[in-house]
Amino acid sequence: MTGSSGEGPTDPSPEHDPPGQGAIDGGLSATGGHDPLINGYRSFTPIGQGGFSIVYTAYQDRFDRTVAVKVISSDLRDSAAARRFTRECRVVGKLTGHPNIITVFEAGSTADRRPFIAMQYLPGGSVADLLRRNGPLGVADTLRIGAAIADALQAAHKAKILHRDVKPGNILLSERGDPVLSDFGIASRGFGTDMSASQDAFTPSFAAPEVLRGDEPSVASDLYGLGATMYAMLAGTPPFGVRPGDSLATMMLRALTEELAPIRRGDVHSDVDGLLRALLARDPSARPRDAATAADELRRLHALEGLTRRPAPRPPADPPPAPADAPPGAARPAPFQGRPCRRAPSTTQTSPARPTPPALRRTLPRQSAPSRPTTPPRRPPRCRSTRPHLAPRQAPPTRRRPRPFRGKTREHRPTSLVTRGWRT
């Protein structure tokens, strides 16, 4: 994604970013063809490289997990590489824990004194990989990713950290599709108080016009990178395109002088287009005030996108065939296309209701029913069982009266008989 401070910036557009999590470092390459030797890590597999480092997947024995390891090409004796390495460690250390910012596990040096950073491995690749595979993204996905990255930028800006290289190659995707902002290797701290990163590399096709003119980056510069990234997600190319044979000066001149081309898609709402143009304004003061404002607007548009989305119009159905007795060339009735109309209530006096037509008379001769005797109806029995499978109800057995007590007097009778009230 980037070049060194001696080479000047280069422009790997989304079509030139390394695959997979190689976009973590924005395109840093390593020298040498052997795998790094790091205590506690094994099974190194390169997944991306660039101008300053190479990114591997490795197995971490102590925690039994797969991680991404970025190994910087220069050793720690190089002062510029040491500053860059120290700056990135401090930046990601302050921001680790945010759900949309890459998590760093460990930092150190290899056996040959090359610095490395071990971070979470995101198998979903980057947004640049997604654009290469599937082309432009949907409007809802673009707004969702943009709102999450705006939250990450707001957390970085609150910590006085500028990312300075927001682009599709630096937005990684988890297995569930959650976006994560990575590559703080050229980030600057202090909003101008520590601008040692100002001479480092950046990506011209996603850089703000003031950065291309050599001015100091600001919060508005990161917001321009967010707008350029969302534009590329919807259009498939950066805002001012990357044409074959373009030099760095040509791309910078086009970004500074040409007007922004509209996104030729019918599903892009006018409010979405207006927000993108505000983020990509050449005047930094015309952009949103901060990343939190942009995130709120993106969430509002994302909710609006879900409410106003309509299904694609269905093709008209074939008209019904003409009646058999219709003359040749007769027009067929057009199929009904809309919803049935409800008749509005009339304000004039209503006419009397039509009389109900008489019922049709039977054409067959009516047969007279046989006469029946005029005997009074018989009353059905009161308690006759209607279930023949049950046995007839039997009368309860007679209860024998106990014999009278002929023993002692009433005072000496058994208690049981006294309580029961038997009389002699």
The DSSP output letter for 22 is G
Q: What 3 state SS string does 349-389 have?
A: CCCCCCCCCCCCCCCCCCCCCCCCCCCCCCCCCCCCCCCCC
Burial 81-91 (b: 16+ CB within 10 A, else e): beebbebbbeb
Reference 68, options 32, 33, 113, 18; nearest CA is 18
Reference 24, options 92, 95, 76, 114; nearest CA is 92
- Residue 265 dihedral angles phi and psi, to the nearest 5°: -140, 135
- 164 carries an active-site annotation: yes
For residue 82, what are the contacts with CB-CB under 8 A and spacing of at least 6? 76, 115
Query: Which residue among the candidates 87, 144, 164, 287 is catalytic per the annotation?
Result: 164
Task: State the Cα–Cα distance between residues 221 and 217, nearest whole angstrom.
Answer: 6
Reported in sequence order, the residue ranges of 110-170 that DSSP labels E, i.e. its strands, are 115-120, 161-162
Cβ-based burial of 254 (10 A; exposed 0-12, middle 13-18, buried ≥19): middle
Task: State the Cα–Cα distance between residues 35 and 46, nearest whole angstrom.
Answer: 9
Active-site positions read 164
